[in-house]
Structure 1
Amino acid sequence: MSADLVVLGLGYVGLPLARQAMRSGLSVLGFDVDAAVANALNAGRSHVDDLSDDDVADMIRSGFRATTDEAEISVAATAVICVPTPLSAEGGPDLTAVRAAAHTIARNLRPGMLVVLESTTYPGTTDEVVRPILERSGLVAGDGFFLAFSPERIDPGNERFGTHNTPKVVGGDTPESTRRAAAFYGRFIDTVVRAKGTREAETAKLLENTYRHINIALVNEMARFCHELDIDLWDVIHAAATKPFGFQAFYPGPGVGGHCIPIDPNYLSHNVRAKLGYPFRFVELAQEINATMPAYVASRAQNILNNAGLAMKGAFILLLGVTYKPNIADQRESPATPLARRLTALGAQVTYHDPHVNRWTASGADIPRSTDLEGAVVAADLVILVQNHREYDADRLAALAKRFFDTRGVTTAATTHRL
């Protein structure tokens, strides 16, 4: 038995990649160290937002199989690493899972295999970390096997751009590795962009997210002084966005979430400090601004209550939407979590409503969930729209609420408090 592809790490990145490859006719094997994940997938159960149980069941019927048996990796022509790289205590990526995946492949590497790292990391990881581990097999990169980096660009919940039509950047450690990686991805992705090498491909991903991180921080800081100056920043952005060139609209919010924006730019900043000895000041300032937004929202909430003659202590506050982006269940790095912690620390009684989240914790304690949306809105002393899911009619909810704080700029009533 042989396979065109084995995907190591069957999460938000690996599973959609496996599905798209299969839809284009490739034979795909999934590998994960978590037996519960593998067993659930083999039973047709999905654990990521962009794939339903029916999608996984279709994959299984088409020949996909998840395994925890690393020996099966040797049957694949291409191995793609899609494992997590969380932020380490030092501020860089924790490469524990990447190293483990590389060792797993090295034990099962065969001549001619293409190995691609997709996990987000700092420039130089593919060549300095992954390559030496793989070469312990006795095979040499660029000759005995081929090595490349291709940054993941998964945007959970995006209904316009998915794996097949989001351009794929690839950079190999040799020109032949780049060619082979481009040919592989070209079998199931519409557009493949060849970078000069692995470091350029690694840095491209960090530049994408750093660009967003810094521009979000810009409008978040503007939100603070525009509020003090009685300027409607949302109207300002709308007006500025009418310029057909030289401007891209970014919007303020209660903080940034997900794996990419609050984490990836730190990899670049950490790498610059570690290797060059000086700070990447734009990134560090952006991180400072964005990280303080939940506390700023809590402070604004306290002022809203104070102006109504109410104390924060004992006030009933309802948070609407606790995921990091709308219309999905993903809570990774959601700003709702530090916001709830801050409100609770100030003495508020916090509850939440989210159509995608049945259980939510902050500071290790469960936050009570409201199932009656309109009833909870009417009863709360203050409602804070943290995430605007499509299920919410924000203007209607604002009309029902005693006080409504819109952190997403979607309401129209003059009586609504907006970020």
Structure 2
Amino acid sequence: MTLLKRLTDKEATVGVIGLGYVGLPLAIAAAKSGYQVIGFDVDVTKVERLYAGTSYIEAVADTDLSLTRPSCAWTTDFAQIATCDVVVICVPTPLTQHREPDLSFVEDTARTIAAHLSADTLVVLESTTWPGTTDEVLKPLLAASGLALGQEIFVGYSPEREDPGNTSFRTQTIPKIIAGDGPQAQAMMEAFYGAVVETIVAVPSPTVAEAVKITENIFRSVNIALVNELKLIYDEMGIDVWDVIDGAATKPFGFMPFYPGPGLGGHCIPIDPFYLTWRARKFDVRTRFIELAGEINTNMPDHIVHRTREVLDRASGKGLNGSRVLLVGVAYKKNVSDMRESPAMRLMQLFSDAGAKVSFIDPHVPRIPPMREYGLYEGRQALDPDALEVGACDVVVIATDHDAIDYAALLTLGVPVVDTRNAIAKRGLPMKDVTKA
């Protein structure tokens, strides 16, 4: 039986490598659609939790794990790749310390796949990367298996579009960009993803698909940078940028609202623009607009620290050195526990460097998890918000506007509040001693 027929008849086994915010929801979606699934991860703790029926991300409920139990196996044994008909790569693509692409996870995974690959297998990359990665990095590494590309190994690219915390969309309902390397691979991509998600959108090549994904995230990055800069400008004019955006958003065409904040977080928007700027340099093309947006967004935590220092100076003449700062929310966005690239961690570092004593509350993050950066704060525990009393801190800084936070209670602490998310005003609470930043 050919691979295309196995995919069409749902008799194929799907391997998903990397069981994080992208891979685990995809594995569950593939199992729900009728495929047998093997989920691979190097983290034995994740595998143990999945076998115990306990999810570690919000997008997958424990009930999802129990419902798909007969169809799913979880393992750290990558030799089982040999039994898979489809292998999907969902591993991180971070930046180096010099803000250049770090494809080491993709490259290591591709080498592992090549070592165990069987003939008549579709290999798909979902990790966000620069246009050309599938052709120039993935395919040569898979060719080391000795199997012929386009005849025994088929390759495709389909960028992930996960949005942690978004309850309006899930993996199955988000339109899926797909591209195969050649007509046969394209047909296989359509058969596989067409069975897993509701809508597939075919584009001409993996390189185009890679560019689609990076364009989506750059679009968000530059528009967030724009409103962050507008915020700085309007602050000096005594104009509330949130009022401006709310007014502009009533226009039924030609405007899309974006909102300022303390910086960018998550696994895509703070990182992906730098993938394209790096790639563009290979073609002697400058990316001034994209780089400027990155600079503005990267500097927002410094602005928040500056505003907090001003607020403390006015309130007590004390400044940051020796002050107690209560950071509200450390996840990168509301209503999730995801800490990747969270600007709150940069704020914590900057406040600490200025001599402040920093504590935090976050209903989704009871303690700081291991992170590629900020290892100094690993294991630091959140305060119990119910135990906060008047005098517990000198200033409150709202970095992440989780819905589960009692903002009215924060106002009873009797200290200045620096609100980077407009959380207090949005809830109609008194604005006395609240500074929007």
TM-score, normalised via structure 1 length: 0.94
Structure 1 residues 85 and 394, CA gap change in structure 2 (3 angstroms): same
Q: Which residue of 1 aligns with 2:436?
A: 418
In the alignment, structure 1 residue 279 sits paired with structure 2 residue 291: no
Show structure 1 runs of 5+ residues with no match: none
Q: Secondary structure at the match of 1:146?
A: strand
Cα distance in 1 for residues equivalent to 2:100 and 2:88: 22
1:25-36 to 2 correspondence within 5 Å? 25-36=34-45
In the alignment, structure 1 residue 409 sits paired with structure 2 residue 422: yes
1:16 corresponds, among 15, 21, 25, to 25
Structure 1, 186-195 or 347-356: larger mean CA deviation: 347-356
In the alignment, structure 1 residue 74 sits paired with structure 2 residue 89: no
| Structure 1 residue 377 displacement after superposition | 6.7
Q: Which residue of 2 aligns with 1:387?
A: 400
- Contact 1:12–1:48 (CA under 8 A) maintained in structure 2: yes
- Contact 2:180–2:206 (CA under 8 A) maintained in structure 1: yes
Give a deviation string over 1:88-137, Cα, whole Å, max 9, x none: 23433211121122122222222321110001111111111111111222
Q: Secondary structure at the match of 2:177?
A: strand
- Contact 2:35–2:71 (CA under 8 A) maintained in structure 1: no
Cα distance in 1 for residues equivalent to 2:365 and 2:308: 23
Q: Which residue of 2 aligns with 1:156?
A: 164
In the alignment, structure 1 residue 47 sits paired with structure 2 residue 65: no
Show structure 2 runs of 5+ residues with no match: 1-10
Cα distance in 1 for residues equivalent to 2:388 and 2:80: 54
| Structure 1 residue 25 displacement after superposition | 1.4
Cα distance in 2 for residues equivalent to 1:23 and 1:144: 28
Q: Secondary structure at the match of 2:297?
A: helix
| Structure 1 residue 399 displacement after superposition | 5.2
Q: Which residue of 2 aligns with 1:364?
A: 376
Cα distance in 2 for residues equivalent to 1:373 and 1:403: 19
| Structure 1 residue 395 displacement after superposition | 4.6
Q: Which residue of 2 aligns with 1:234?
A: 242
Q: Which residue identity lines up with residue 435 of structure 2 in the other structure?
A: H
2:68 corresponds, among 46, 59, 68, to 59
Q: Secondary structure at the match of 2:198?
A: coil
Q: Secondary structure at the match of 1:221?
A: helix
Give a deviation string over 1:360-414, Cα, whole Å, max 9, x none: 2756046563203472576322111111111124355335542111110132234
| Structure 1 residue 198 displacement after superposition | 0.5
- Contact 2:389–2:413 (CA under 8 A) maintained in structure 1: no
- Contact 1:27–1:63 (CA under 8 A) maintained in structure 2: yes
| Structure 1 residue 240 displacement after superposition | 0.4
Q: Which residue of 1 aligns with 2:8?
A: none
Q: Which residue of 1 aligns with 2:3?
A: none
Structure 1 residues 347 and 373, CA gap change in structure 2 (3 angstroms): farther
- Contact 2:361–2:384 (CA under 8 A) maintained in structure 1: yes
In the alignment, structure 1 residue 313 sits paired with structure 2 residue 326: no
Q: Which residue of 2 aligns with 1:398?
A: 411
Give a deviation string over 1:150-199, Cα, whole Å, max 9, x none: 00111111101110000000111113212210221010200000011010
Structure 1 residues 20 and 391, CA gap change in structure 2 (3 angstroms): same
| Structure 1 residue 319 displacement after superposition | 0.8
Q: Secondary structure at the match of 2:57?
A: coil
| Structure 1 residue 73 displacement after superposition | 1.3
- Contact 1:318–1:376 (CA under 8 A) maintained in structure 2: no
Cα distance in 2 for residues equivalent to 1:287 and 1:374: 39
TM-score, normalised via structure 2 length: 0.91
- How many residues are matched? 416
Q: Secondary structure at the match of 2:196?
A: coil
Structure 1, 33-42 or 179-188: larger mean CA deviation: 33-42
- Contact 1:343–1:350 (CA under 8 A) maintained in structure 2: yes
Structure 1, 233-242 or 98-107: larger mean CA deviation: 98-107
Q: Which residue identity lines up with residue 404 of structure 2 in the other structure?
A: E
Q: Which residue of 1 aligns with 2:5?
A: none
- Contact 2:214–2:276 (CA under 8 A) maintained in structure 1: yes
1:295 corresponds, among 302, 308, 319, to 302
Cα distance in 1 for residues equivalent to 2:218 and 2:207: 16
Q: Cα RMSD between the aligned structures?
A: 1.8
Structure 1, 370-379 or 326-335: larger mean CA deviation: 370-379
Q: Which residue of 1 aligns with 2:4?
A: none
| Structure 1 residue 418 displacement after superposition | 0.7
Q: Which residue identity lines up with residue 417 of structure 2 in the other structure?
A: F
- Contact 1:24–1:187 (CA under 8 A) maintained in structure 2: yes
Give a deviation string over 1:267-322, Cα, whole Å, max 9, x none: 1111111x112431112111111111111101000001111133122222111111
| Structure 1 residue 260 displacement after superposition | 0.6
Q: Secondary structure at the match of 1:317?
A: strand
In the alignment, structure 1 residue 244 sits paired with structure 2 residue 265: no
